[in-house]
Structure 1
Amino acid sequence: MDDLDAQGTFRGLPLTTEQDAEVRHYIKKKKQRNEPWDTPELSAMIKDMLDPPGDDDDTADIDDEEETRSVAERASAFIDEDMDPIEHNEEWHAAMEAEVMKGPRR
């Protein structure tokens, strides 16, 4: 039995069409090999589908933006304002690369 219900997804879980197809494919392959399909591997796959790793880290984007902004500000401090625009741009990029190589400041 595939544990399908009226909703049409595996065990009535809130899966996307692609995820549901992947689960069904996994079960079909296991059945073709006469292997048990309700395995810890299937449970782990479904858990990852419902709660993907890394989704609970919403602050990472904000931290990355703040870090990028502070790197740019530190790089700008090394640039002479009286340079011609091309030289200024090249020096700014070089300073940005140097700041990035130093790593995050935490």
Structure 2
Amino acid sequence: MADATPQTTFRGLPLTPEQDAEVRHYIKRKKQHGAPWDTPELGAMLRDMLEPPGNDDGGLGATVDETNAATERATASIDETMEPIEACEERNAAMETEGMRGPRR
């Protein structure tokens, strides 16, 4: 497939080759069915392609960071000289304790 450049993409938009192919396929399908292709649906598709996705994870990054921090604190309470099973049990207990404390502020 040829590189997608503003001179070769749909309406000169900065689309990736995959996005350009998707737009052209949409138009071709609409024309085959005799339907108008320049629709609000096409406009929405192009907006989605051109605008970066929003941060809709609902603070997932903060949750992951807090979980990692809790894991590090729990792991720090384990003595290297412990038996593996004992160390695992101590770590699990420390994680439960961290979980009961809730998020740090």
2:33 & 2:100 partners in 1: Cα distance? 51
5+ residue gaps in structure 1?
1-5
The corresponding residue for 2:74 is 75
Q: 1:15-46 deviations in whole A, cap 9, x for unaligned?
A: 00000000000000001011111111111111
Identity %: 63
5+ residue gaps in structure 2?
1-5
- In the alignment of these two chains, the number of paired residues is 98
Matches within 5 A, 1:30-45: 30-45=30-45
2:87 & 2:10 partners in 1: Cα distance? 59
Distance 1:66 1:55, change over 3 A: closer
Q: 1:35-59 deviations in whole A, cap 9, x for unaligned?
A: 11111111111111111323698x9
2:44 & 2:29 partners in 1: Cα distance? 17
The corresponding residue for 1:86 is 85
The corresponding residue for 1:3 is none
User: Could you state the TM-score of these two structures normalised by the residue count of structure 2?
Assistant: 0.65
1:22 & 1:43 partners in 2: Cα distance? 13
